[in-house]
Each structure stands twice: as C-alpha cells, then as structure tokens.
C-alpha cells in the first residue's frame, strides 16, 4: 500500500510570523487632570461631603493612591511638572506668573517621536501655545464656566455651553473622528473645574441646596500651634472669601450691609460671569440664587454665623461643579467601553493639587500642609492593574511622565526626575523612595502664602519658610495628622529633626535645587516686580 505524502508550501515569511510572538500593542493613554479637586471631595477617598460614582468606578476597576503628592501646589507649575517630569526650578514654571518654555523636551514630544498621536483639550494655563500635540483646543488662562473661549491653531473661538461638558465633547470628538486608528494615542483631558469661582452647570445649581455639609473640625483654627506663615496667609473663608464673587451675593446687598470685601476689585467678577449667561440660563440662575440672595439680605449674618454661612455656600457651589466633572468622566469612560478602547487604555485621574475645604478655616492651596500638598490619583488599566487596589507609597507628580513613558515601552530620559510607577501596579516597592521634596515660590502674591520648601517622610514633615521670615516647622503626622502643633523646638524630636535636615539636604542635591539657586530665582522675581 502506497502512502501518499502531501506537501504544503508555506512561505517562510508566514512561517516566521506564526512562530514569532505577536508584538505587544502599545496602550492608549488618557490623562485626566481637574483643577483644585480635593481628595476630600471624592467618594473613593471616603468623602463625607459628596458622591462621585464615576470617579469611584475608576478606583474600583484600578488602583487608588492614598499618598500621592505634588511638588509645588499651584496650577501652572503642576501642569509643567506633569509634562516634563522635572521640578519647577528646572522646567521654567515655578509660579503662575511664568511662561512655559515650549521648546524643551516634553512627554507629548517623546510620545510623538515614538508613534503616538497626541492631543490636549481643556485647561492649559502655561501662557505659551501647546507644543508636541497633533491636536489642541485649550482655554486661555483660567477660562470661563459659561460660553467659554478656546484657543486653537486656527485662532480663538467662542463655544456655547458649559465648559466641563464642552471639554468632554471635544475629547470624545477627537477619539471618534479625528484620531488615526492605526496609532496609539495620548489624550490630555484637562478640566477647568472646580477652580474658583465655582459656577455649577444648570443641572447642578440645586444639587446641594438644603443639604448641610459637615464642617471640618478646624474651621475656626486659631493657628496658635504654628508660625507666622499660617497666621499671615490670606485665604480664610471668614475674611478673604468674596461674598459677591465667590458666594454669589449681589454687590448691592454686600454694600447695603457694609460687609467687608477683602478684594473690592473682585466684586465685578460676579456680574461679568452672570452677564455671560444666555437669557434662558439667567432665568434658571435667578430662580435658584434669587431666593438665596433674599434670605441672606433678610438674615444679615455676622461673626461665626457668617463664616458658617459662607462655608455652606462655598461647598454647595464647589460640590455642584464637581458633579459635572464626575458625570463627564463617566461619559468618557462609557465611550471607551462602547468602542472597544477600555481594555488597552491607561486612564489616569488626578488634580493639579489638593485644596482646602474649610480645613484650618481656609480655601485655596499653596501650603505644604497635607490638604494642599496631597492630591487624588487613580489609575485604571485592565490589562495591567488588578481591580480594587490601594497603594500607600509616596508618589509625586514628577512620576507621571516616567510612568506614562514606561507604559508605552519607552525609556524615560535621564534628566526626568520622577520614577515609573509601573512596579507599584504589582506591589513591588523595594526600590521606592522614602521621602518627598517640595518647593513653593509664589510670594508676595495673591493669598500671601510665604515661600517655603521641605521634606515629607512616612511619618514626619519638615518645612522651612523663607524670604521675609526664617522659620522652621516640624510635624509628627502620626500623632498630629491635622498639623496643629509645630514640634521643631521640642527636645523630644532632636534626633528626628537632625535626620530630617540631613534628608532635606540630600533631596535638594538629588533634585538639583540649592540655596544659591533659590536666591538667584528670588532676585530675578524681585527684578521682575520692580519693572512692573
């Protein structure tokens, strides 16, 4: 019996392709950054103030970082850090007055060079035009909540609608019709919200009306246990929050009762924002804020009662603005899922820094104290991050760019100062940092938070305030998590203080900061102020 042997010719190219491993598909990146979104106002972080179901969904499906911090707690510098991976003294933006040097190496430029399509939509706040992006549509400066203007490569356009909804529309439009589907993408999806002056969308005007928000235990902090910096800062709800611009009380009522307005030049902001509303929006606005104004006029609160009233008004608007962020994050996540993009997309949610929600009697940020220094950070990447994880390592916004590059399989340049967080996805932290460095520069300026730098370890924090004062503060975060008692001169902390001073000097050397550089930057700032 003859056996027939069948020969099948297979081209070598096909044979080698079948034997070789399929090349890994590079992940897409969506980097979501809100503005002034306190971790205390996110459900996943245990908020007692509000619910954020869509941001919480990201945390449930990914990793929540419980000790994520910034390097300089103010808007523009944080954005510059995110795209350079470098501290403020090396990336050209140390405060909101500086213009970003767009010619330098940045994260989007590196991704572009490695086959990524890049886009940024929303808040930019770096004064110069975006570079390294295939598509961009950004707010000029802080931007407006209603009928905002946007800068594009073709010029400035005015869009009709609410800013958070519009930015999401643009992001989805990029994903749906502008992107090259043959390339991986990085989309920087940046919200203006919830930045001051906290104008909610029409849908959220009454979201927190008649829903009292718990007061923080330090709302009436007297700063007795700290130095001059905390006492001198001009961001107390009681004294520095504007009844007209911030709390939406008509200037006529404010003037009628002779209320002190810390910044009288800020009063017209309320009227300007109101004027931008459409006639239909004004009707809705008046239906909600008219009774609020009438009630305030009738009650004429003073003293602690006024402070409590201002805090509740602040929270009603601030949290209402966050409602729109949360629903729009959900809208974008739904798009990814419906279009098969969810599995291989690394989604990062963060804020440009933390924010005070009445803690220590404050609003705003800037300080190295926890509520300002710490920022929310959530990462979701189904292919690489197991759902429902939490992380307690000391991570910082200098780590964003190296992490994104590592996720894309790209080696970070040596001059980036952060570290890739990819090992933390698997719980590998043997080679992770044990301390963080911080440096804030914008003084004298709005809110008058003094210049300072410092170090934070797992348990302790050492801060040096300088320029017009020379004061040191040391906090034991285990015994004093609210940072109410400076123990710098407590003999019980002598050895700890010495160790922290040593660690601070090591970090300054590691990150190429120094007293000499600080003095040079200070002289440059003084010269600039003299010219003005």
Q: What DSSP string describes 467-493?
A: SS--EEEEEETTT-TT-----TT-GGG
Rounded Cα gap, residues 344 and 375, in angstroms: 25
Domain shared by 425 and 450, yes or no: no
Domain shared by 112 and 132, yes or no: yes
Structure tokens at 500: 């922290």
Could you tell me if 59 and 378 are in contact, meaning their C-beta atoms sit under 8 angstroms apart?
yes
Domain shared by 309 and 326, yes or no: no
In a domain, 514, yes or no: yes
Could you tell me if 462 and 454 are in contact, meaning their C-beta atoms sit under 8 angstroms apart?
yes
Residue carrying structure tokens 């460095």 = 437
The pLDDT value recorded for residue 264 is: 67
How many Cα atoms within 13 Å fall on the side-chain side of residue 68? 27
Rounded Cα gap, residues 36 and 152, in angstroms: 24
Which CATH number is 178's domain given?
3.40.720.10
Q: Domain range holding 162?
A: 28-199+321-429
Mapped onto helix, strand or coil, the DSSP state of residue 276 is coil
pLDDT (mean) for 309-321: 98
Domain shared by 107 and 184, yes or no: yes
Domain shared by 328 and 180, yes or no: yes
The pLDDT value recorded for residue 266 is: 66
Could you tell me if 83 and 408 are in contact, meaning their C-beta atoms sit under 8 angstroms apart?
no
Is the pLDDT confidence value at 53 over 50? yes
Rounded Cα gap, residues 235 and 355, in angstroms: 11
In a domain, 366, yes or no: yes
Confidence of residue 270 (pLDDT cuts 50, 70, 90): confident
> Which secondary-structure segment (H or E) carries 351?
strand 345-351
Residue 350: closest CA among 390, 377, 324 = 377
The pLDDT value recorded for residue 155 is: 97
The pLDDT value recorded for residue 513 is: 97
Which CATH number is 481's domain given?
3.30.1120.10
In a domain, 129, yes or no: yes
pLDDT (mean) for 436-450: 97
Is the pLDDT confidence value at 15 over 50? no
In a domain, 446, yes or no: yes
Domain end residue (candidates: 315, 338, 366): 315
Domain shared by 331 and 304, yes or no: no
Q: How far is CA 33 from CA 30, 167, 406, 439, 462, in A?
A: 10, 12, 20, 21, 28
The pLDDT value recorded for residue 24 is: 64
In a domain, 237, yes or no: yes
Is the pLDDT confidence value at 12 over 90? no
Question: Sheet of 377-380: strands edge to edge?
Answer: 155-158, 149-152, 135-139, 117-123, 185-190, 28-34, 345-351, 377-380, 63-65, 389-391
Rounded Cα gap, residues 141 and 500, in angstroms: 38
Domain shared by 264 and 339, yes or no: no
Confidence of residue 524 (pLDDT cuts 50, 70, 90): confident
Is the pLDDT confidence value at 366 over 90? yes
Q: What percent of the chain has pLDDT over 90?
A: 90
Estimate to the nearest angstrom the gap between the alpha carbon of 268 and the chain centroid: 27
Strands 155-158 and 149-152 come out as antiparallel
> Which secondary-structure segment (H or E) carries 113?
helix 107-113
Q: What percent of the chain has pLDDT over 70?
A: 95
pLDDT mean across residues, the chain: 94
Which region among 8-22, 166-180, 314-328 has the lowest average model confidence (pLDDT)? 8-22
In a domain, 17, yes or no: no
- Say what the pTM is: 0.94
Could you tell me if 353 and 74 are in contact, meaning their C-beta atoms sit under 8 angstroms apart?
yes
Is the pLDDT confidence value at 530 over 90? no
In a domain, 23, yes or no: no
Estimate to the nearest angstrom the gap between the alpha carbon of 394 and the chain centroid: 17
Could you tell me if 144 and 162 are in contact, meaning their C-beta atoms sit under 8 angstroms apart?
no
In a domain, 155, yes or no: yes
Q: How many residues does the chain have?
A: 532
Model confidence over 492-508: pLDDT tens digits?
Answer: 999 999 999 999 999 99
């Amino acid at each position: 019996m003859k056996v027939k042997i069948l020969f099948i010719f297979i081209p070598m190219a096909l044979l080698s392709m079948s034997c070789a491993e399929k090349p890994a598909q590079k992940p897409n990146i969506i980097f979501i950054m809100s503005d002034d979104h306190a971790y205390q106002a996110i459900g996943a972080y245990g908020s007692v103030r509000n619910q954020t179901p869509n941001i919480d969904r990201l945390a449930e499906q990914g990793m929540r970082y419980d000790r994520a911090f910034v390097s300089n707690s103010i808007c523009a510098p944080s954005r510059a850090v995110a795209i350079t991976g470098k501290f403020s003294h090396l990336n050209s933006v140390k405060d909101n007055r500086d213009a970003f040097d767009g010619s330098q190496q940045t994260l989007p430029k590196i991704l572009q060079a490695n086959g990524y399509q890049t886009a940024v939509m929303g808040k930019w706040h770096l004064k110069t035009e975006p570079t390294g992006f295939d598509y961009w549509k950004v707010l000029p400066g802080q931007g407006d909540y209603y009928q905002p203007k946007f800068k594009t490569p073709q010029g400035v356009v005015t869009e009709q609608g609410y800013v958070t909804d519009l930015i999401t529309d643009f992001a989805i439009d990029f994903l749906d019709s502008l992107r090259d589907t043959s390339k991986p993408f990085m989309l920087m999806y940046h919200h203006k919200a919830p930045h001051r002056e906290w104008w909610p969308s029409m849908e959220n005007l009454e979201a927190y009306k008649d829903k009292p928000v718990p007061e923080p235990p330090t709302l009436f902090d007297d700063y007795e246990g700290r130095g001059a910096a905390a006492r001198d800062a001009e961001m107390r709800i009681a004294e520095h929050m504007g009844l007209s611009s911030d709390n939406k009380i008509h200037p006529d009522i404010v003037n009628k009762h002779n209320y002190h307005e810390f910044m009288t030049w800020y009063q017209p902001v309320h009227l300007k924002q109101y004027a931008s509303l459409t006639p239909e929006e004004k009707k809705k606005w008046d239906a909600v804020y008219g009774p609020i104004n009438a009630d305030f006029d009738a009650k004429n609160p003073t003293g602690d009662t006024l402070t409590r009233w201002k805090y509740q008004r602040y929270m009603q608007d601030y949290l209402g603005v966050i409602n729109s962020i949360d629903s729009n994050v959900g809208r974008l996540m739904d798009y990814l899922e419906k279009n098969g993009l969810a599995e291989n997309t690394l989604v990062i949610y963060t804020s440009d820094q933390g924010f005070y929600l009445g803690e220590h009697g404050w609003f705003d940020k800037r300080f190295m104290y926890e509520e300002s220094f710490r920022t929310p950070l959530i990462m979701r990447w189904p292919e690489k991050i197991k759902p429902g994880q939490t992380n307690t390592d000391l991570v910082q916004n200098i780590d964003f760019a190296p992490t994104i590059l590592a996720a894309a399989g790209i080696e970070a340049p040596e001059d980036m100062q952060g570290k890739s967080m990819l090992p933390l996805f698997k719980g590998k932290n043997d080679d992770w940092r044990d301390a963080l460095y911080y440096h804030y520069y914008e003084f004298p300026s709005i809110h008058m938070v003094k210049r300072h730098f410092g170090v934070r370890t797992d348990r302790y924090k050492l801060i040096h305030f300088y320029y017009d004062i020379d004061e040191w503060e040391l906090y034991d975060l285990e015994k004093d998590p609210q940072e109410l008692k400076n123990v710098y001169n407590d003999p019980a902390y002598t050895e700890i203080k010495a160790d922290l001073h040593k660690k601070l000097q090591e970090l300054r050397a590691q990150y190429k900061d120094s007293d000499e550089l600080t003095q040079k930057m200070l002289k440059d700032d003084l010269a600039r102020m003299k010219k003005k």
